[in-house]
Amino acid sequence: MTLLVVLLGGGYAAGDIYDVVPGLVTLRPERLPDPPFPQPQVPQPAVPEAVADTPDAPQPGPDALADLRESLLANPSVGTAGVLVTDVLTGADLDAVAADSGHVPASTTKLLTAAAAVAAAGADHRFTTSVVATGEGQIVLVAGGDLTMAAGAGDPGAIVGHAGLADLGQATAAALTAAGTTRVSVGLDVSYYAGPDMAPRWDDIDLAAGDAMHMAPIAIDIGRVDGARARELDPAGAAAAAFVDALVAAGITVEGDVTSTTATEGATELAEVSSAPLSDLVAYMLQHSENILSEALGRLVAHEAGEEPSFQGAGVAVGTVLGGEGIAVDGLVLADTSGLSSTNRISPRTLVETLTTIASRPELGSVARGLPVAGLEGTLSTRLEEAPAAGMVAAKTGTLRAVASLSGYVTTADGRLLAFAVLIGDVPTGGVVGARDAIDDWIAEIAACGC
């Protein structure tokens, strides 16, 4: 059965290494999404026998799951809630409350973005940054959506920094020199994106914390700035400056400032560099809950679906692609594709059907493998650290000021694989940590279930 091969291929189940020590905790204000945590160095785990291909493993009983859910909802830190637990093998719902209603999803939104991106563009897709000549003594740097570029040389073994602007500059200089050109002006084409550069409900607090950025279709290191939490104010301008520096270092004279332009169709290409494959970008985005990269993937979906490559167009495109996969998207509202905006609405049904679709489609396996594993990786590295949940839960986290969410897979003690989503809203002031703890207790009880 391909299902569990897809889910377990990246070390999803790690029942034999519960004693792994995770990285340091990084604390942030409650209103912001989960921060990236240092990644523990762990051995590749074997797949425990309990989660091998065991279609006869018993399902948890609905009454037992209902009792666990009622305990969750009774927690004083829990306001409103939507819950759905589904058996992956049969698709049968085992427990549900408000499962078809829209809830504020926080960063569980990224699960939908990841699935839509891989479904629309393929796991091997790469963002390309190119340089073209206009024939009038001008060359144009054409931004193609790669926000992970290095200012210097690229590293073929890296995800962030795979493509280098210095490499692009050197290759461009070589092409110009070969054509007898040593003096040019430089234009920058950012038409790969459209619309506002900030989404609804993104604000100065998000910018200061580095959770938001003025979006542009090219950036160095996802816009991060050494020694600062806030991201680059002009990511495209910073990338263009690094490119110009590389040209000058290679002996090309650059006249004037970089100008905003649009490359003419059919212009002669001088050089190009490409990002890491989409499968790697998706895994990085999910592990680190990287908002800016998730927005870049949303724009990719918009291009693939023929929508405007804006916040609004990306949200529509994600729904269109998922709907085309047979996933219920009724009531889906995406003002952004990262979950930072509190105007987003997603139902537990949409999240769980996305998970079951991923499980049945090997070509979407990179999304399942990219989910953080409880107690070991990413935003779950310091959560659910002990048996029975450690290594047996792979899920996307989500946190805003009054929201806590979690959506992914859990393998029960009986060896049954379940998909789940829990979206808690209207959390009392100061209660989001308690809400997250309540979610963790709930999913740990399901993992322990021989019920």
| CATH classification of the domain holding 66 | 3.40.710.10
pLDDT of 437 over the 90 cut:
yes
Same domain, 158 and 186: yes
CATH of residue 202's domain is 3.50.80.20
Q: Of 119, 132, 433, nearest to 297 (Cα)?
A: 119
The mean pLDDT of 71-89, rounded to a whole number, is: 96
Same domain, 177 and 293: no
pTM (2 d.p.):
0.88
Same domain, 370 and 396: yes
Rounded CA separation 159/275 (Å): 8
Same domain, 315 and 333: yes
Same domain, 270 and 287: no
In this predicted structure, what is the pLDDT of residue 54? 60
End-to-end CA distance of the chain: 25
Work out the mean pLDDT of the chain and round it to a whole number. 89
Domain end, chosen from 276, 291, 315, is at: 276
3-state secondary structure of 128: strand
The mean pLDDT of 11-24, rounded to a whole number, is: 33
**CB half-sphere exposure, 162, CA atoms < 13 A:** 21
Same domain, 362 and 334: yes
Q: What is the DSSP letter of 249?
A: H
Distances (CA, A) of 256 to 150, 187, 244: 24, 10, 11
* Catalytic residue list: 107, 110, 289
Same domain, 61 and 160: no
Rounded CA separation 167/159 (Å): 16
Same domain, 300 and 383: yes
Domains held by the chain: number: 2
Same domain, 66 and 166: no
pLDDT digits (tens, 9 = 90+) for 313-348: 999 999 999 999 999 999 999 999 999 999 999 999
Same domain, 96 and 142: no
Please name every residue paired with 86 in a beta bridge, in sequence order, or none if there are none: 93, 419
- Confirm if 378 and 372 have CB atoms less than 8 A apart: yes
Same domain, 154 and 67: no
Domain end, chosen from 232, 251, 276, is at: 276
Domain end, chosen from 258, 276, 294, is at: 276
Same domain, 158 and 265: yes
pLDDT of 266 over the 90 cut:
no
Domain encompassing residue 254: 128-276
- Confirm if 332 and 349 have CB atoms less than 8 A apart: no
pLDDT digits (tens, 9 = 90+) for 175-215: 999 999 999 999 999 999 999 999 999 999 999 999 999 99
Q: What tokens were used for 261?
A: 């332009």
Sheet-wide strand order for 403-411 = 93-97, 80-87, 417-425, 403-411, 393-400
- Confirm if 87 and 418 have CB atoms less than 8 A apart: yes
Query: pLDDT band at residue 58, thresholds of 50, 70 and 90?
Result: confident
